[in-house]
Amino acid sequence: MDLVYTHCAGLDVHKKTVVACARIVQPDGTKTTHVRTFATTTAALLTLVDFLLSLGITHVAMESTGEFWKPIYNLLEGNFVVLVVNAQHMKQVPGRKTDVRDAEWIAELLAHGLLRPSFVPDAPQRALRDLTRQRTHLVQERASVVNRMQKVLEWANLKLASVATDVTGVSARAMLEALLGGQTDVTVLAELAQGRLRTKRAELEAALCGTLQPHHAFMIGQHLLHLDFLDQQIAAFTAQIDAAICAGLPQEPAGCQPPASGGGETVSTDTPAPPGANWAAARTLLDALPGIGPRVAEIIIAELGTDMSRFPSAAHAASWVRLAPRQNESAGKRQAIRIGKGNRYLRAALLQAAWAAIKNKDSFLAAYYRRLAARRGAKKAIVAVAHKLLVIAYTVLKTGELYQERGAAALDERQKDRLLARMQRRIAQLGYKVNLEPITAAA
């Protein structure tokens, strides 16, 4: 095999130690290896950097082992070309396995250019990722707390969730606080309803007649305090993310303000953002997509970035997120396939946006969903819609053009010939013959 890198190193990363194997090939073909083990403290990792620099190492490769590779990557970045590689892509032949052999094998593969690096964004985008991912965890934790509080309400025979859509809304929160304050008159409690919920006061009176025990009241009160804390945390992270997006890249627009509402709005701007635009402009472009609001747009920017040159095509981006089914064919038969594991944060956000996008019945994505759901089921259809959203987001970020809604009729127009041929075949199967002629417009 051809030698690609003469001065390279492989790292076998663990929680407490990292084994480094430096592989050096001299011009006369002489190969030497230097193996050392380092701790994973900052001082020890700086010693590792000095060790590799002293040997003239130019390229370093390591497995993406949980979170343990990140502190090493942060210190190696800028001094070497660092490749973070999927462990499945470089499995050894079974046999004697040690940390030293693992490091040597990584260095061997790197020297011959057989490693495919994973996508690791630059430092500002990694910082934005940390913020958006932590906010996602907080939102998920908030949903868990709401579910636990709902269980307590069921134990207390309070059927508030059967009448109110959101048990943490303004009306439901006022009723719960009144219950915790000792109010037992269901008529007074139902009068606390606001807006459209006031039309359901009779139902509220029946739902609020329960068997609230002191320990139920204590648990509900603690859940409400926990929800208040999580709401404050989510708001703080959202403000920090907004500040990072407005100041994250150069050429920030004047008066940068985060969008105030969800996706699907028409963006009024005279000049579309050029390719490679800053984060604030990219968020505005993504916010115009159906189903995508500012929060989902921020997740897309943090996970995917705005430089689409990292991915040769939209299909590569979809494969990286694992929103494209794999191929598994043997002996001419296609086996059952799944989308596999990928970027779970971006995939979950796109699936959430897909469910929101199909709410508009007269949209292209809604028609696309209905066509697939009829023969493949709702779950596979919604994954396909999420894949389509990712392709649209990739195109928008790459070209800088605003999204234009084509409408539900665009899907039939695109497949008109195939649709007509299928209908003709079906009519022929029923024993009829028809001649199709286009309707000419009236003069």
- Which helix (H) or strand (E) element contains residue 82? strand 81-85
Q: How far apart are CA 379 and CA 365, in angstroms?
A: 15
Q: Note whether 89 and 34 are same-domain residues.
A: yes
Q: How far apart are CA 253 and CA 122, in angstroms?
A: 22
Q: Note whether 219 and 269 are same-domain residues.
A: no
> Does the pLDDT at position 109 exceed 70?
yes
Least confident among 39-48, 396-405, 413-422: 413-422
Domain end residue (candidates: 59, 81, 111): 111
Domain end residue (candidates: 243, 268, 284): 243
Q: Note whether 313 and 391 are same-domain residues.
A: yes
Q: Note whether 143 and 89 are same-domain residues.
A: no
Q: How many domains does the chain have?
A: 3
Confidence of residue 359 (pLDDT cuts 50, 70, 90): very high
> Does the pLDDT at position 269 exceed 60?
no
Q: What is the tens place of the pLDDT at every residue in 42-53?
A: 999 999 999 999
Q: Note whether 404 and 273 are same-domain residues.
A: yes
Task: Tell me how far CA of residue 292 lies from CA of 104, 265, 288, 390, 400, in angstroms.
Answer: 46, 10, 7, 11, 17
Q: Note whether 264 and 233 are same-domain residues.
A: no
Q: How far apart are CA 171 and CA 271, in angstroms?
A: 44
Least confident among 41-55, 112-126, 297-311, 328-342: 328-342
Q: Are strands 81-85 and 59-63 parallel, antiparallel or unpaired?
A: parallel
| Residue 441 included in any domain | no
Q: Which of 34, 38, 33 is nearest to 49 (CA)?
A: 38
Q: Note whether 238 and 90 are same-domain residues.
A: no
| Residue 433 included in any domain | no
pLDDT for the residue 118: 85
Domain end residue (candidates: 243, 278, 295): 243
Q: How far apart are CA 188 and CA 200, in angstroms?
A: 14
Q: Which of 81, 62, 73 is nearest to 11 (CA)?
A: 62
Confidence of residue 415 (pLDDT cuts 50, 70, 90): confident
Q: Note whether 171 and 230 are same-domain residues.
A: yes
| Residue 222 included in any domain | yes
CB 275 within 8 A of CB 285: no
The total of other beta-carbon atoms located within 10 Å of residue 56's CB is 10
CB 38 within 8 A of CB 48: yes
Q: How far apart are CA 282 and CA 274, in angstroms?
A: 9
Q: Note whether 61 and 84 are same-domain residues.
A: yes
Q: Which of 188, 33, 147, 193 is nearest to 101 (CA)?
A: 33
| Beta-bridge partners for 37 | 19
Q: What is the tens place of the pLDDT at every residue in 127-150?
A: 999 999 999 999 999 999 999 999
Contacts of 357 (CB under 8 A, 6+ apart): 289, 290, 291, 292, 363, 365, 366, 385, 389
**Domain carrying residue 131:** 125-243
CB 238 within 8 A of CB 139: no
- Tracing tokens 């006031």 back to the chain, one arrives at 198
Collapse the DSSP code of 118 into the 3-class scheme (helix H, G, I; strand E, B; otherwise coil) and give the result.
coil
Structure tokens at 96: 């004697």
| Residue 299 included in any domain | yes
Rg of the chain taking only CA atoms, in angstroms: 29
| Residue 77 included in any domain | yes
Hey, what long-range contacts does 305-308 have (CB within 8 A, 24 or more apart)? Answer: 305/121, 305/125, 306/249, 306/276, 306/277, 306/278, 306/279, 306/282, 306/397, 307/276, 308/275, 308/394, 308/397, 308/398
Q: Note whether 258 and 385 are same-domain residues.
A: yes
Q: Which of 24, 11, 89 is nearest to 57 (CA)?
A: 24
| Residue 417 included in any domain | no
Q: What is the tens place of the pLDDT at every residue in 224-247?
A: 999 999 999 999 999 999 999 988
> Does the pLDDT at position 274 exceed 80?
no
Question: What DSSP state is assigned to residue 274?
Answer: P
Q: Note whether 190 and 311 are same-domain residues.
A: no
Q: Note whether 136 and 278 are same-domain residues.
A: no
Kindly report the backbone phi and psi dihedral angles of residue 8, in degrees, each rounded to the nearest multiple of 5, phi listed first.
Answer: -140, 170
User: Residue 107 is part of a domain; what is its CATH number?
Assistant: 3.30.420.10
| Residue 213 included in any domain | yes
| Residue 437 included in any domain | no
